[in-house]
């Protein structure tokens, strides 16, 4: 498997399609990022994000069972290979969804930041 993917083949960038029918599940029927509402674009009012860790690193396991999610980016390789594939899969997903932000909960706390400054 290549690092670059594609990891979501056959899925284009999700468009705004206000006239889409119920069968058109890969479209935004009400969200138009460029539409201006009260002086701001809709994308500025609704700043959607995707949780990187839970969406791309989670395995679907819980205290009562084993992993249930088989992800193509978690299929073998060194830990660094897996991390690179997950990152490429995530940004492919963000791009196709049109999401500008993502969340990531692994960060240094403020006390560590102060200690690490020169």
Task: Quick: pLDDT tens for 98-111.
Answer: 999 988 766 555 55
For residue 108, the model assigns a pLDDT of: 56
Supply the pLDDT for residue 109.
Answer: 56
Q: What is the reported pLDDT for 2?
A: 52
pLDDT average, residue stretch 82-97: 93
The whole-number average pLDDT for the span 33-54 is 93
Question: What is the Cα–Cα distance from 84 to 78, expressed in whole angstroms?
Answer: 10
Q: One of 30, 54, 88, 105 is an active-site residue; which one?
A: 105
Q: What is the pLDDT of residue 27?
A: 95
| Catalytic status, residue 88 | no
In DSSP notation, 34-91 reads T-EETTEEHHHHS--EEEHIIIII----BTTB------GGGSSS-HHHHHHHHHHHHH
């Amino acid at each position: 498997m290549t690092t670059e993917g594609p990891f979501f083949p056959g899925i284009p960038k999700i468009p705004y399609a206000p006239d889409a029918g119920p069968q058109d599940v890969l479209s935004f029927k009400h969200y138009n990022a460029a539409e201006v509402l009260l002086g701001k674009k809709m994308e500025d009012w609704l700043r959607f994000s995707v949780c990187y860790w839970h969406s791309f690193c989670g395995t679907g396991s819980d205290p009562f069972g084993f992993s249930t999610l088989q992800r193509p980016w978690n299929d073998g390789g060194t830990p660094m290979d897996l991390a690179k594939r997950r990152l490429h899969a995530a940004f492919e997903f963000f791009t196709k969804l049109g999401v500008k932000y993502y969340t990531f909960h692994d960060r240094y706390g403020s006390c560590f930041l102060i200690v690490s400054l020169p």
